[in-house]
Structure 1
């Protein structure tokens, strides 16, 4: 694999040293801007950590980034996916078609991919409409979902063409990468099968700490990742994604990598400090929500309207409101599990109160 300079802004390629590069792959119409696809040199050829969104411009950016390294998509040996979301897994199938590369993912997220691909048309719309109605969403929010269902706009959802992985990432195991030591760490919360990947090698600049961490969306330098509910229309279990996330955060904090290579924003150091910030953020948010519920019983929708976001509720776009309600529900489940809140008996839609 060809060496690069420290940074190439023309092709948005960054050399992180030690046979690791980052390529900025754009996400269409998304404030995040891009996914950082990482290229890891191995003795059997380049391996990608995530691939980016399934879009022609994104594919062109990925191919251009590889080209700046003297590579082509056909040269890719393998693909390791941190989680199933389309800005990470979207181009995996196209990479495999071009190269024959294997694709690895945690079993819990592979299950999501299989379920999404095999679901009958309209299942997702029906499920989301019913779920949002139960959360107290107003009719004007439900109407577009029902209209899309009736109009048959069912095959435009991201993830319906996602590639089925052919290898399983087993937590705690080293991935079979020739000449590298990359260990999988299961970090559920953002998705049920999210993994971070610990490169157990000395930092190329000899920064203090334990190797480097490809953190996906689990640990980002300036964003608190979305923690919503694990969406599975057939699963009746009451999951606790926020509890999963907080436990996973503490595990990463104890690992204390020398540097974190996330899938968005930029690389950073001092992971334990960032973990402490995020733990404090969620502790404060849970406390604030408990105080809201102590004042009055609220549905998840009404709670989301009162939560602090990066903009006023009236300015939050339609799709982001759905995500916000899911995050409110995840926090409610944590409060219920902690014994600090409970559903109000007989309420419809279900409201919650503080204990």
Structure 2
């Protein structure tokens, strides 16, 4: 891998017609999204686009220049998942280039429903979910205020894709062998993209994997309940994620190119570490559930990267969703159950 800097943009050339551009995420500890550029016989293709922000757009376009191309030359955009730090700039890229946008249909459904829903409907949905989880009034009040004073909901401007990414299929990219691998968990339609080509440095393994947020070198992605106000299907996102990890380990790529942090090797070992981490966490939650707890109470009792009192408001909502996903998985495995007659519902270990 070689690095190249143009102005303040530090791009990386991974060899074999693959580059990465660190596109900033405003006010986020992750810092940036690694947007990957893949050369094809019909023109360059982006894997993700970054956050919809003027500074992010400037960085993306400057990064493309540093890679020897421009936004107007882009042929297509492949989206690993619908989150705004990955899909946010897709509409602007399409407007500037005419490029197509492809996404797994499950995440395309989330984008469409978010765009079509009234903002008040979304805020009511989120408030009801938090209340059902046992959140106190001080956590609910800001959502009620936002409902009455916010004209739009985050994601309302997200681009609708033109194409579907079909799991298991080779994508229609002239001169490249890039296969879609469905890896639900972080979102219902998250995909990794397996470049089934010899590694440019002849590293041991099977090609390279654009892993999005599914497989990261130093952190575990957020796994919460899938949020869809028009779909009451009972899902198990953590179970989906753990199964998807096994699928990625079996690919045994020579190198992983994630959307955050840095490129790395040893995917099977990283998968084993993540599986061990989640099994330990589930064991710890079962110990907490010897006393019945609501999802909110469980989230407060769980171990995070800082004390609960120091966790910002929005991050607490995310933490509760993660606690709910772990509870859902324990219930699915028959290791926990809701306590009859409780409101909000409490859960106990079995």
TM-score tier, shorter chain, comes to over 0.9
Any unmatched runs of 5+ in structure 2? none
Q: Which residue of 2 aligns with 1:335?
A: 330
Matched, 1:351 2:315: no
Rounded to whole Å, the distance in 1 between the matches of 2:119 and 2:248 is 39
Q: TM-score, normalised by structure 1?
A: 0.97
Q: CA deviation at 1:158?
A: 2.5
SS at match of 1:244: helix
Q: Which residue of 2 aligns with 1:24?
A: 22
Match of 1:190 among 186, 192, 195: 186
Rounded to whole Å, the distance in 2 between the matches of 1:150 and 1:199 is 47
Q: CA deviation at 1:175?
A: 0.4
| 1:247-275 CA distance string (max 9 Å, x none) | 00001011110000000000000000110
Match of 2:213 among 217, 236, 239: 217
Match of 2:65 among 39, 64, 67: 67
Q: Which residue of 2 aligns with 1:202?
A: 198
Q: Which residue of 2 aligns with 1:287?
A: 283
SS at match of 2:141: helix
Of 219-228 and 5-14, deviating more is 5-14
Rounded to whole Å, the distance in 2 between the matches of 1:70 and 1:241 is 40
CA RMSD of aligned residues (A): 0.8
Q: Which residue of 1 aligns with 2:236?
A: 240
Matched, 1:139 2:137: yes
Q: CA deviation at 1:93?
A: 0.5
Rounded to whole Å, the distance in 2 between the matches of 1:68 and 1:233 is 42
| 1:264-316 CA distance string (max 9 Å, x none) | 0000000001100100010000000001101x100000000011111111111
Q: Which residue of 2 aligns with 1:304?
A: 299
Rounded to whole Å, the distance in 1 between the matches of 2:118 and 2:332 is 33
Rounded to whole Å, the distance in 2 between the matches of 1:241 and 1:268 is 25
| 1:224-254 CA distance string (max 9 Å, x none) | 0000001111212110000000000001011
Match of 2:319 among 319, 324, 330: 324
Rounded to whole Å, the distance in 1 between the matches of 2:185 and 2:36 is 22
Match of 1:78 among 76, 79, 84: 76
Match of 1:161 among 128, 132, 157: 157
SS at match of 1:12: strand
Matched, 1:265 2:261: yes
Rounded to whole Å, the distance in 2 between the matches of 1:346 and 1:110 is 38
Matched, 1:6 2:2: yes
Q: CA deviation at 1:137?
A: 0.3
Between the two proteins, the alignment pairs up a number of residues equal to: 348
Q: CA deviation at 1:154?
A: 3.5
| 1:111-151 CA distance string (max 9 Å, x none) | 00000000022111100101000000010000100011122
Of 128-137 and 65-74, deviating more is 65-74
Q: TM-score, normalised by structure 2?
A: 0.98
Of 167-176 and 118-127, deviating more is 118-127
Any unmatched runs of 5+ in structure 1? none
Structure 1's consecutive aligned runs of 4 or more residues displaced over 3 angstroms after TM superposition are none
Q: CA deviation at 1:172?
A: 0.3
Q: Which residue of 2 aligns with 1:251?
A: 247
